[in-house]
Structure 1
Amino acid sequence: MTHIENITLKAFKYRLYPTKAQESALDTTLILCQRLYNGMLEERRGAYKKAGKSLTAYDQMKSLPEVKAALPEYAGVNAQVLQDVAKRLDKSFKGFFRRIKAGQKAGYPRFRGRDRYDSFTYPQPSQNSVIGDGKHVYLPKIGNVRIRLHRPCAGKLKTLAVKREGREWYVVLTCEVPRAEPLPATGSEVGIDVGTTWFYTTSDGEFCENHRFFQRSSRKLRVAQRSLARKPNKRSNRRKKAKERVAKLCRKTARSRLQLHHEEAKKLITNHDLICHEDLNVKGMAQGNLSKQIHDVGWGQFFQILSSKAAEAGRRVIAVDPRFTSQRCRICGHTEKGNRASQANFRCLSCGHSENADVNAAKNILAQGLRFVAQRTSQEDACHEKPQPAGLG
């Protein structure tokens, strides 16, 4: 049991540079997997409608030799890749039934178009898949494809997934690695107040800039989207190129935002033992007037990355109830809407305390998190915790 607890999975994503022949083979593999996925989905639906029978992944994997006999092109696809298609579909159905049981919006598995099926997986790759020279990765039935190892890959290789993003190809290596040692204690705790003016503000008075990546790219994106809208023929090459330009701009924005989130999360985890932030309903907030700004700043992704890095580093991240943190005076505890004189200024109407509104909120968030820590009888290392909602006090 101790050995299992000391092992974790880590994914390494690298860019591939296939030749034209290899790119054609990758495209063909994706198309065949997409057709197989849709065929298996139709088989499951038909079996249930006609005979009331629910097929399993194992049932469908047993029929793969018959598929290869009837359709010779499938002989050019690795057998385990085809088996993984059945497992992927089975996972979709299990998620569907789980959501029904939980009373959530179910979302029945859908047929996938070519644009919506963009990856395939080798579930049991060779440990020597990355060639010794570090410049190629071996993909069965495709060959040695050039790879850019921008960071070292370590651990026991568990799965190898090939993914297409636009016209670019990537490989994701999921490896079993020893769990990292916790970072040394710093004795520092911090509360962070996120927003749209500043990305976040700490209880120490540090302000992190909101780079507004989507807003910066909005002009180019608007031009590209208008160009796409002027090409109604969905089968034309000009429309495909225009669509790719839009997708490329969106990918660049998302990657820039992701990089910022990783950098800021790493900085917070390195410098503090305890990080407290608001437990925001980001999805609900994104349906209001500030939806575009909230989607641009990406709080949900940032909190998820922060929690993941904390678990790896042995730090603690606590999500506290956000209510009244921006209206409560951190000195006397007086809570009133009028305390927030403006977006940037806080002035308590009871004791007269004056401070930057975001810093005051961050200090309230930290105090609430520390109260929660003090009340807990059993301490859990490096977990993302949610205390019970606090009152006005």
Structure 2
Amino acid sequence: MANTRKGVTQVESTTRKAFKYRLYPTKAQGRALDTTLLLCQRLYNGCLEERRGAYKKAGKSVSVYDQMKALPEVKDGVPEYKGVNAQVLQNVVRRVDRAFQGFFSRVKAGKTPGYPRFKPRDRYDSFTYPQPSQNSVSGDGKHVYLPKIGNVRIKLHRPFAGKLKTLAVKREGREWYVVLSCEVPRAEPLPETSSGVGIDVGTTWFYVTSDGEFCKNHRFFQASSKKLRVAQRALSRKPKGRSNRRRKAKERVAKLYRKTARQRLQLHHEEAKKLVSQHGLICHEDLNVKGMAQGKLGKQIHDVGWGQFFQILSSKAEEAGRRVLAVDPRFTSQRCRVCGHTEKGNRASQANFRCLSCGHSENADVNAAKNILAQGLRFVAQRTSLEDACHEKPRPLGLG
């Protein structure tokens, strides 16, 4: 978000913000949306097949511009595409190009490349207007204009602001949503504060702070597990195929998963906002969440969603001018914050910490959170100047 020229860093005055709203199309508009999405999915797979075939047969690469030039021929050959906005079709071609650019960059970086794959109907769920009109949303906020589809009723539960840059239509189950990506002025940083906090995340509590605050782990997935189990069993009994009964059973399962994900996302936003508004420095453990989720506690770790929470926390901190530090997690739960003695036996139980050297006794999670904060403060003290808020990962420190 910053441009560097001649050694001077210039912070951009604007940023992008997305606003998501529910759509309520009529039956005719719903059919038009389904048709548009189906044609975009077929075009995506067709462009992908063209690129793969050209390279396999002739060792030739097809560029994004070559495929865009061929779109008029596609419309002539398949008249149904004339009912889809031209810019929407161009965006589909660009999606294919971005998939290949990501593939090449991963190959160059030595990562697992993951060659672009064909998209089945169930996994292609959105299309985008890259240059929408600034008047796409009606003045009364009740309709949004989608070219080639019409004025669709919208639930504008909160106002959007800024210059409209892109408009994406997304299908979630049988529900339709519109995502408005707007260019808005960068928010003013929050007033400076010297308050710092360390947070120790877990599965018993969502997090525990160095100030002694305990945030409840709501276990959204576990709370809905009974309904999910019933819905998934009902789905497994349906014969495989494209029957309406199987489709409805599949939608019920997906709807339960979406509700759980939304509940978790709302909690993460609320807690991140609270931490950022109260503290200028927030320290947490630099956890390998993906690796930890493959162990015995994988289901609980997926349920609590640390990775998403850390990402949201970092984003809100950057916007507010706060600082987030991800510190080395080793021995934070075994080290005494008073004398620094580190031993596995210090952790008397899941909730209790008692130092075998000095006898200091405290809640184990609070002790760990204070160690995390102390480690972050040591790192900050070593820096000659404070930079803008960022998700930093200081080098591992010693046991002391």
Q: Could you say whether these structures have the same fold, taking a TM-score greater than 0.5 normalized by the shorter chain as the test?
A: yes
Equivalent position of 2:258 in the other structure? 251
Question: Partners of 1:130 and 1:157 in 2: how far apart?
Answer: 10
Which amino acid in structure 2 is aligned with residue 148 of structure 1? Answer: K
Equivalent position of 2:34 in the other structure? 27
Q: Once the two structures are superposed, what CA deviation does each residue of 1:274-318 show, in whole Å capped at 9, x if it has no partner?
A: 100000000000000000000000000000000000011110000
Question: Partners of 2:223 and 2:158 in 1: how far apart?
Answer: 29
TM-score, normalised relative to structure 1 = 0.99
Equivalent position of 1:139 in the other structure? 146
Question: Partners of 2:11 and 2:59 in 1: how far apart?
Answer: 41
Equivalent position of 2:344 in the other structure? 337
1:71 aligned to which of 78, 90, 98: 78
Q: Once the two structures are superposed, what CA deviation does each residue of 1:111-133 show, in whole Å capped at 9, x if it has no partner?
A: 11100100000000011111111
Q: What secondary structure is seen at the aligned counterpart in 1 of 2:180?
A: strand
Question: Partners of 2:365 and 2:146 in 1: how far apart?
Answer: 51
1:367 aligned onto 2:374: yes
1:214 aligned to which of 211, 221, 224: 221
Q: Once the two structures are superposed, what CA deviation does each residue of 1:154-193 show, in whole Å capped at 9, x if it has no partner?
A: 0001100000000110000000000000011232110000
Q: What secondary structure is seen at the aligned counterpart in 1 of 2:56?
A: helix
CA 1:356–1:15 in 2, change beyond 3 Å: closer, same or farther? Answer: same
Which amino acid in structure 2 is aligned with residue 379 of structure 1? Answer: L
Query: Is there any run of 5+ residues in structure 1 with no aligned partner, and where?
Result: none
Q: How does 1:184-263 map to 2 (within 5 A)?
A: 184-263=191-270
Which amino acid in structure 1 is aligned with residue 235 of structure 2? Answer: L
Q: What secondary structure is seen at the aligned counterpart in 1 of 2:350?
A: coil
Q: What secondary structure is seen at the aligned counterpart in 2 of 1:307?
A: helix
1:105 aligned onto 2:112: yes
Question: Partners of 1:17 and 1:374 in 2: how far apart?
Answer: 54
Which amino acid in structure 1 is aligned with residue 46 of structure 2? Answer: G
Q: What secondary structure is seen at the aligned counterpart in 1 of 2:52?
A: helix
Cα deviation for residue 378 of structure 1 reads: 3.2
Question: Partners of 2:157 and 2:281 in 1: how far apart?
Answer: 31
Q: Once the two structures are superposed, what CA deviation does each residue of 1:40-59 show, in whole Å capped at 9, x if it has no partner?
A: 01100111011111111111
Question: Partners of 2:10 and 2:249 in 1: how far apart?
Answer: 52
Q: Once the two structures are superposed, what CA deviation does each residue of 1:191-243 show, in whole Å capped at 9, x if it has no partner?
A: 00000000000000000000000000000000100000011232211110100
Q: Once the two structures are superposed, what CA deviation does each residue of 1:44-86 show, in whole Å capped at 9, x if it has no partner?
A: 0111011111111111000000000111000000000000000
The runs of 4+ residues in structure 1 deviating greater than 4 Å are 1-4
Equivalent position of 1:9 in the other structure? 16
Equivalent position of 2:397 in the other structure? 390
Deviates more, 1:315-324 or 1:371-380: 371-380
Question: Partners of 2:326 and 2:117 in 1: how far apart?
Answer: 35
Question: Partners of 2:77 and 2:66 in 1: how far apart?
Answer: 18
Equivalent position of 1:151 in the other structure? 158
Equivalent position of 2:317 in the other structure? 310
Equivalent position of 2:6 in the other structure? none
Which amino acid in structure 2 is aligned with residue 339 of structure 1? Answer: N
Equivalent position of 1:351 in the other structure? 358
Question: Partners of 2:240 and 2:122 in 1: how far apart?
Answer: 16
Question: Partners of 2:191 and 2:255 in 1: how far apart?
Answer: 41
Q: How does 1:279-290 map to 2 (within 5 A)?
A: 279-290=286-297
Which amino acid in structure 2 is aligned with residue 233 of structure 1? Answer: K
Question: Partners of 2:185 and 2:390 in 1: how far apart?
Answer: 18
Which amino acid in structure 1 is aligned with residue 151 of structure 2? Answer: N
Cα deviation for residue 3 of structure 1 reads: 8.5
Question: Partners of 1:235 and 1:18 in 2: how far apart?
Answer: 24
Cα deviation for residue 377 of structure 1 reads: 2.0
1:90 aligned onto 2:97: yes
Question: Partners of 2:187 and 2:63 in 1: how far apart?
Answer: 38
Cα deviation for residue 376 of structure 1 reads: 1.1
Equivalent position of 2:277 in the other structure? 270
Question: Partners of 2:191 and 2:142 in 1: how far apart?
Answer: 36
Equivalent position of 1:125 in the other structure? 132
Equivalent position of 2:87 in the other structure? 80
Question: Partners of 1:372 and 1:59 in 2: how far apart?
Answer: 52
Question: Partners of 2:10 and 2:357 in 1: how far apart?
Answer: 57
Question: Partners of 1:310 and 1:18 in 2: how far apart?
Answer: 37
Equivalent position of 1:321 in the other structure? 328
Question: Partners of 1:265 and 1:353 in 2: how far apart?
Answer: 31
Q: Once the two structures are superposed, what CA deviation does each residue of 1:80-125 show, in whole Å capped at 9, x if it has no partner?
A: 0000000000000000111111111111111111001000000000
Which amino acid in structure 1 is aligned with residue 14 of structure 2? Answer: I
Which amino acid in structure 2 is aligned with residue 56 of structure 1? Answer: S
Question: Partners of 1:3 and 1:62 in 2: how far apart?
Answer: 38
Q: What secondary structure is seen at the aligned counterpart in 2 of 1:171?
A: strand
Question: Partners of 1:106 and 1:361 in 2: how far apart?
Answer: 38
Query: Is there any run of 5+ residues in structure 2 with no aligned partner, and where?
Result: 4-8
